[in-house]
Amino acid sequence: MSTAQYFPGLEGVIAGETAISTITGGLSYRGYGITELAAQSTFPEVAYLLLYGELPSAEQLADFKAILHESAEVDTSIIDLIRQVPLHVSAMDVLRTGVSALGHFDPQVDENTRSANIGKTVRLLAQIPILIAARHRLRQGLPLLQPDPANGFAANLLYLITGQAPTPVQERAMDVSLILYAEHEFNASTFTARVVTSTQADLHSAITAAIGALKGPLHGGANERVLEVLEEVGTPDRAETWVRQALAQKRKIMGFGHRVYKDGDPRAVILRNYCADLARQAGDLSLETIADTLERVVREEKKLPPNLDWPSARLYKYLGLEVDLYTPLFVASRVVGWAAHVIEQSENNRLIRPRSQYNGPEMRPYVPLEERG
């Protein structure tokens, strides 16, 4: 008889150690509070911090950005592959395939040293925006664009997809969303990446698997479902009735609740201010009003605060982005958090192999095929 305790969904279980981020005492990356990072940093600085453990000096940051820029070229055969995927396939599925395919062209794919893993991560960081934009623009029949070295990471990401240079407010909003999405300790996709790494498989395998885990609506896929909710509500005057009915029908409202934040997701609080700025800039506050009503009622009725996907969906809508790009944009940022965990896991590895509690049939005699009814 086993004395081990079983926690469904591993809720509350400490499944490993990490020095990358913690939610204890407020979310922090490598010891820096998320509020300060969102207010003062940029996504490339945060990516450097997550990968190397320290904030970069001005010179290190300039080098890092230069390498990112030099690495932003995807082999044409991968673009051809993307071109051939049927049009109904989601952007997230195409990105999963694209990232897996990038591994075939990476000169260090099977090297698992720290420097090889950092090299591969930098290439993924630089090339994932190209894959996302390529799928989007090929599907729309639009020409593909080249990143502009004068642009920052967030501005290029928006430019490559939309073909428009963002305003400074738009660029900053995108940058902050990338900072907030970059890392979140042992969430489902990061844990997936660590499980794959624990078998000594390569970084591209771990990241491809993590993308698969992120896609689900209970995790990263929620940001796309949030916009569907807002669109279903339609107008501010319908919001209160809609949400009360949805809750009465026991519907899950996407963008609310969190496994580890029961009192509120600090990232959602930060990003909502950027939503309000963009809505004011666009001169249309209707989505903000709908969101406020839903937040108030869900809190009143279920005591559930919104999570990061709640404001990010509106933010991406204000930035003129198609809904099926929202979870791929999460990947564009989280890839660096996953990679930091891949590196940490491989440097202090123990195969992740938990046990299960068996609830199947008792041991029984085998019945030969000819005797089965």
Applying CB under 6 A, among 50, 179, 253, 290 the residue interacting with ligand COA is 253
The residue type of 11 is E
Applying CB under 6 A, among 69, 137, 252, 299 the residue interacting with ligand COA is 252
Which helix or strand (DSSP H or E) is residue 33 part of? Answer: strand 32-33
Applying CB under 6 A, among 123, 135, 204, 258 the residue interacting with ligand COA is 258
Of 9 and 373, which has the nearer Cβ to ligand COA? Answer: 9
Q: Is 255 in the site for ligand COA (CB under 6 A)?
A: yes
Q: Is 299 in the site for ligand COA (CB under 6 A)?
A: no
Q: Is 123 in the site for ligand COA (CB under 6 A)?
A: no
Of 139 and 299, which has the nearer Cβ to ligand COA? Answer: 299
Of 147 and 328, which has the nearer Cβ to ligand COA? Answer: 328
Sequence-ordered list of residues with C-beta below 8 angstroms from that of 197, at least 6 positions apart, any chain:
203, 206, 341, 342, 345, 346, 349
Looking at 120-128, 129-137, 303-311, 315-323, which segment touches ligand COA (CB under 6 A)?
A: 303-311
Q: Measured from the CB of residue 328, what is the shortest distance to ligand COA in angstroms?
A: 16
Output the DSSP codes for 222-284.
HHHHHHHHHHHH-SHHHHHHHHHHHHHTT---TTB--SS-SS--HHHHHHHHHHHHHHHHHT-
Distances (CA, A) of 16 to 208, 249, 349: 21, 38, 10
Residue closest to 229 by CA, chosen among 213, 214, 251:
251
Of 304 and 342, which has the nearer Cβ to ligand COA? Answer: 304
Of 44 and 311, which has the nearer Cβ to ligand COA? Answer: 311
Q: Is 48 in the site for ligand COA (CB under 6 A)?
A: no
Q: Is 267 in the site for ligand COA (CB under 6 A)?
A: no
Q: Is 218 in the site for ligand COA (CB under 6 A)?
A: yes
Cα 314 to Cα 163: distance, rounded to the nearest angstrom: 20
Q: Measured from the CB of residue 194, what is the shortest distance to ligand COA in angstroms?
A: 18
80 counts as catalytic: no
Looking at 129-137, 141-149, 285-293, 302-310, which segment touches ligand COA (CB under 6 A)?
A: 302-310
Q: Is 307 in the site for ligand COA (CB under 6 A)?
A: yes
Cα 284 to Cα 277: distance, rounded to the nearest angstrom: 11
Of 166 and 306, which has the nearer Cβ to ligand COA? Answer: 306
From the candidates 175, 202, 309, 324, give the one annotated as an active-site residue: 309
Applying CB under 6 A, among 31, 296, 302, 347 the residue interacting with ligand COA is 302
Looking at 168-176, 237-245, 301-309, 329-337, which segment touches ligand COA (CB under 6 A)?
A: 301-309
Backbone angle region of 5, left / alpha / beta, with phi > 0 → left and psi within -120 to 50 → alpha: beta
Q: Is 254 in the site for ligand COA (CB under 6 A)?
A: yes
Cα 37 to Cα 236: distance, rounded to the nearest angstrom: 33
Q: Is 324 in the site for ligand COA (CB under 6 A)?
A: no
Q: How many CA atoms lie within 13 A of 211 on its CB side?
A: 27
Cα 352 to Cα 191: distance, rounded to the nearest angstrom: 10
**Alpha-carbon radius of gyration of the chain:** 22
Of 148 and 228, which has the nearer Cβ to ligand COA? Answer: 228
What value, to the nearest 5°, has the Cα angle with vertex 262 and ends 259 and 263?
150
Q: Measured from the CB of residue 307, what is the shortest distance to ligand COA in angstroms?
A: 4
219 counts as catalytic: no
Q: Residue 77, exposed/middle/buried by CB under 10 A (0-12, 13-18, 19+)? A: exposed
The token duo for 336 is: 């660096």
Q: Is 44 in the site for ligand COA (CB under 6 A)?
A: no
The token duo for 353 is: 């192999």
Catalytic annotation, residues: 258, 309
The residues that touch ligand COA, with contacts defined as CB under 6 A, are 9, 218-219, 222, 252-259, 302, 304, 307, 309
